[in-house]
Amino acid sequence: MELLQAIFNNGTAMRAPAPPGELSLPDLEEGGQGVIERLDLPEEAAHRLMALGLLPGARVRAGRCAPGGDPRIYHVDGAQIALRRETAAHLKLRSPAADDAL
Amino acid sequence: MSRRECDSCPLAAPPADGHPRKARVFAIIGPPNSGKSTLFNRLTGLRQKVANYPGVTVEQRVGKVRLARDHEATIIDLPGIYSLTPCSEDERVAQRVLTGRMPGLPRPDAVVLVLDSNSLSRHLMAAAPVLALGLPALVVLNMADELRSRGGQVDVAALSEHLGAPVALISAARGEGLQAVYDFLQGRLPLGSPRIDRALLNDIPRCRQWALHLGDRAWQPPAPPVWTQRLDGLFLHPVLGPLIFLGVVVAVFQSIFLCARPMMDALQAALNFSGQLVAQAMPHPALRSLVADGVWRGVGSVLVFLPQILLLFLFMGILEDSGYLARAALIADRTMARVGLQGKSFIPLISAYACAVPAVLATRTIENRRDRIATILISPLMTCSARLPVYTLIIAAFLPERPLLGPLLGTRAAALLGLYVLGFLAAIATAGLLKSSVLKSERTPFVLEMPPYRWPTLRSLGLLLVDRAKIFLRRAGTIILAVTVLLWGLAALPLREGRRPPIQQSYAAALGHALEPVIRPLGFDWKIGVGLISSLAAREVIVSTLGALNGMEADAASPELQQALRRELTPASALALLIFFAFAMQCISTMAVVRRETGGWKWPLIQFVYLELLAYAAAFAAYRLASLWL
């Protein structure tokens, strides 16, 4: 999983090293769901995504992707929003345990 | 968005406040894909125009709606926005208009807020900041027909109560429920007082809480759009998807060339005929020449592209309104990302193969300003159809036809293909250069909302075409007219005994001679110099200019002209001329439209200088190298 994480985050400037095992949006397979924990993005970019419904607490389902796997469509709140992997990697997911407790 | 501005807003004032005043001004605002523009089109019809404001590149339309006899209202169509945090240019423009800080526009008296009734709880997030501004507002829940057919429901009365503003459930595409909108525009609806906590304004998480809560109370979401899911299964299929995408691109490309051809020929014939008629009516030979050779031929050479441009926009309109364009951008994104661009740049660049002018207009779908400018700057490098006559003439004059790959590919076709590839490679290299230097993006994330598939309406397609035709014709009628008259003046003056001089004695020839030292290193003489100057009006004009300089009526297929060219150019300088045309921005129309779209002369000038230098350097290198071999 750490290897996977390293590949996904390749080339994207992380502000803080992610705790090991933390999942982000690209870890979801098609049809997989998760709840957003936080957005590791500069304020302006984060605002833009949050206004579209991608904000902490929102449940996201991974949808279809472009040929080659990138970008991918994410379903949130009845909308379909396509994100590149480099962007989606900054959207961290709640750990499944915390998610179940919700 | 400060409190001060709200204090002065005419919230409590009744709509028609006694004394006669100018038409009241309304702003239509809402999230993207809420059907905002459909409502705007429905209300204003043909009585709308694109408004341009200094430094603003976001398209903005202003229209008039007739309410009663002698009574009309002005409507401003604002860009689609999700919030009023001034993050994107769209949001900044919307905010400036709504707070009355847009120079040249009055502050709107009231707002028509359009939301998609099928995505209500999400769209309500955009409603909060707009309502919090305190302007009188009508909340329009659009696409009621779709909500019904997908089994959703909305409690209009409860929503109105909670929002503190009148709410209307309509379908702008079908014209359903519009009476409430007209009533609001006439000030016949009770206004209520907005009950939005101003703390919600910039606090998106709280805004969402509020919207979700309100949505839960007053709205029953519709079933997911089945057809959209089915079609996505097809259009985004790992194998079929790209094939369909290629099919669509080829079909658009082909029809621009093939279907437009008969229309262009007919238009050309009509222009020639009318030009002769008008010329015959002119008393003086010089005046006759000005009208026939200057105005008619010059403007005509641009006008013939109108069918091609309209056809392209028809396809673009269908692709965009149906929702496929977003899928196409998704599919193309990965490839475009390699050169630092994005999926939405793909379609404009493809259309630049027909003509850079509609391509530049088509970049309006790219929200990221830097990506948009990069796309605009490289679009003239795609081989447009105006280069074709030039290429054909020179290749036919200098390259004997021999089979290369059996009957499939001959030398001439290969040379032509090579020039297309050359332009494409230069475009990619330039894009990479731009995006790693001046236009380095501040890493704005690529975000693309996939709208549900919908049938495009004839009304909005028709209005789109009228709009684009108007822009194009206005340009042909102003800057292009002026330039062609100027170029005619160069070629037809000074008069000798009241007649047009032989072109060798014209100002153009003098200018060509003056230019000769500069272009001599490329192997060009003064005649080519005159051709280069005249081709600024439109690239293919060089063919008729060279014809005139050699004393013949010429088209690209004329053997006499080919012979004359062989006397004038060495094979090496012919190659240099081809390469020069592959890169140079010999097109006043493109410059004019880039100026319009980027809101100033800065980018068109940078583009012109860059492309001319590139063309000069490449032609020089080609001439030197080829001189060694040929």
From A45, A52, A57, residue closest to B82, measured CB to CB: A52
C-alpha atoms less than 13 angstroms from C-alpha of B294 in its C-beta half-sphere: 21
Alpha carbon distances (Å) from B491 to B240, B298, B507? 55, 12, 6
Alpha carbon distances (Å) from B604 to A73, B355, B376, B596, B607? 36, 16, 9, 9, 5
Identity of residue B528: I
All residues at 6 or more sequence positions from B177 whose CB lies less than 8 Å from its CB, including other chains? B144, B168, B169, B170, B171
Top-confidence residue, B248 or B197: B248
Task: Tell if the CB–CB gap between B204 and A55 is shorter than 8 Å.
Answer: yes
Report pLDDT digits (tens) over B138-186. 999 999 999 999 999 999 999 998 888 999 999 998 999 999 999 999 8
In contact, B574 and B582? CB cutoff 8 Å: no
Top-confidence residue, B200 or B140: B140
CATH of residue A50: 2.30.30.90
Give buried/exposed letters for B420-452 (b at 16+ CB in 10 A, else e). eebbbebbbebbbbbbeeebebeebbbbbbbbb
From A49, A73, A77, residue closest to B445, measured CB to CB: A49
For chain B, the domains span: 3-222
Nearest CA in chain A to B444: A45
Prior bond of B494 cis (ω within 30°): yes
Whole-number pLDDT of residue B352: 85
Task: Tell if the CB–CB gap between B446 and A83 is shorter than 8 Å.
Answer: yes
Residues in B closer than 8 angstroms to A58, CB to CB, are 208
Token pair 């032509």 in the structure block, residue = B416
The A residues from 7 to 46 touching B (CB cutoff 8 Å) are 13, 41, 44-45
B334 reaches A (C-beta below 8 A): yes
Six-digit token string for B606: 């940078």
Task: Tell if the CB–CB gap between A78 and B118 is shorter than 8 Å.
Answer: yes
Hey, is A66 helix, strand or coil? coil
Task: Tell if the CB–CB gap between A45 and B443 is shorter than 8 Å.
Answer: yes
Question: What does the mean pLDDT of chain A come to?
Answer: 79
In contact, B316 and B291? CB cutoff 8 Å: no
Task: Tell if the CB–CB gap between B449 and A80 is shorter than 8 Å.
Answer: yes
In contact, B585 and B380? CB cutoff 8 Å: yes
CA B587 to chain centroid: 16
DSSP B108: P
Residues in B closer than 8 angstroms to A86, CB to CB, are 445
Cα distance between residue B110 and residue B135, in whole Å: 5
Task: Tell if the CB–CB gap between B333 and A84 is shorter than 8 Å.
Answer: yes
Whole-number pLDDT of residue B16: 44
Is pLDDT at B53 greater than 70 in this prediction?
no
All residues at 6 or more sequence positions from B602 whose CB lies less than 8 Å from its CB, including other chains? none
Q: Cβ-count burial of B369 within 10 angstroms (0-12 exposed, 13-18 middle, 19+ buried)?
A: middle
Residue A96 distance to chain B (closest CA, Å): 22
Residues in A closer than 8 angstroms to B446, CB to CB, are 71, 82-84, 87
Cα distance between residue B340 and residue B332, in whole Å: 12
Q: Cβ-count burial of B472 within 10 angstroms (0-12 exposed, 13-18 middle, 19+ buried)?
A: buried
Question: What does the mean pLDDT of chain B come to?
Answer: 82
Top-confidence residue, B159 or B260: B159
B87 reaches A (C-beta below 8 A): yes
In contact, B294 and B354? CB cutoff 8 Å: no
Among B617, B541, B537, CA closest to B579: B617
Residues in A closer than 8 angstroms to B450, CB to CB, are 73, 80-82
Hey, is B422 helix, strand or coil? helix
In contact, B404 and B410? CB cutoff 8 Å: yes
CA B363 to chain centroid: 6
Residue B93 distance to chain A (closest CA, Å): 16
Which of B447, B449, B453 should one mutate to test binding to chain A, selecting the residue with the greatest count of A CBs within 10 A? B447
All residues at 6 or more sequence positions from B235 whose CB lies less than 8 Å from its CB, including other chains? B241, B244, B245, B324, B327
Is pLDDT at B497 greater than 60 in this prediction?
yes
Instruction: Provide the domain limits for residue A79.
Output: 2-16+24-101
Which of A35, A59, A64 should one mutate to test binding to chain B, selecting the residue with the greatest count of B CBs within 10 A? A64
The A residues from 74 to 93 touching B (CB cutoff 8 Å) are 77-84, 86-87
- Which secondary structure element, helix H or strand E, spans residue A88, and what is its range? helix A85-88
Task: List the CATH code of the domain at B3-222.
Answer: 3.40.50.300
B330 reaches A (C-beta below 8 A): yes
User: What average pLDDT does the segment A88-97 reach?
Assistant: 86
Alpha carbon distances (Å) from B84 to A23, A43, B27, B56, B70? 31, 14, 14, 17, 35
Q: Measured over all CA atoms, what is the biggest interatomic distance in chain B, rounded to whole angstroms?
A: 87
Q: To 5 degrees, how large is the angle CA B179–CA B183–CA B185? A: 115
Is pLDDT at A15 greater than 50 in this prediction?
no
In contact, B60 and B79? CB cutoff 8 Å: yes
Task: Tell if the CB–CB gap between A66 and B236 is shorter than 8 Å.
Answer: yes
All residues at 6 or more sequence positions from B283 whose CB lies less than 8 Å from its CB, including other chains? none
Nearest CA in chain A to B337: A84
Whole-number pLDDT of residue B18: 43
Cα distance between residue A39 and residue A32, in whole Å: 19
Task: Tell if the CB–CB gap between A47 and B85 is shorter than 8 Å.
Answer: yes
Residues in A closer than 8 angstroms to B449, CB to CB, are 52, 79-82
Prior bond of B242 cis (ω within 30°): no
Six-digit token string for B41: 């089109």
Work out the pLDDT band at A16, boundaries 50, 70, 90: very low
Hey, is B580 helix, strand or coil? helix
Cα distance between residue B545 and residue B435, in whole Å: 38
Whole-number pLDDT of residue B138: 94
Task: Tell if the CB–CB gap between A78 and B449 is shorter than 8 Å.
Answer: no
C-alpha atoms less than 13 angstroms from C-alpha of B244 in its C-beta half-sphere: 19
User: What average pLDDT does the segment B482-494 reach?
Assistant: 76
Q: How many contacts, defined by CB atoms under 8 Å, are there between A and B?
A: 106
Name the percent of chain B lying above pLDDT 70. 87
Task: Tell if the CB–CB gap between B119 and A87 is shorter than 8 Å.
Answer: no
pTM across the whole model: 0.77
Six-digit token string for B63: 């229209």
Nearest CA in chain A to B205: A55
Structural domain count, chain A: 1
The B residues from 177 to 196 touching A (CB cutoff 8 Å) are none
B205 reaches A (C-beta below 8 A): yes
Which of A80, A85, A90 should one mutate to test binding to chain B, selecting the residue with the greatest count of B CBs within 10 A? A80
Query: What are the E-state strand segments in B438-529?
Result: 447-449
Based on its alpha-carbon atoms, the radius of gyration of chain A, rounded to whole angstroms, reads 13
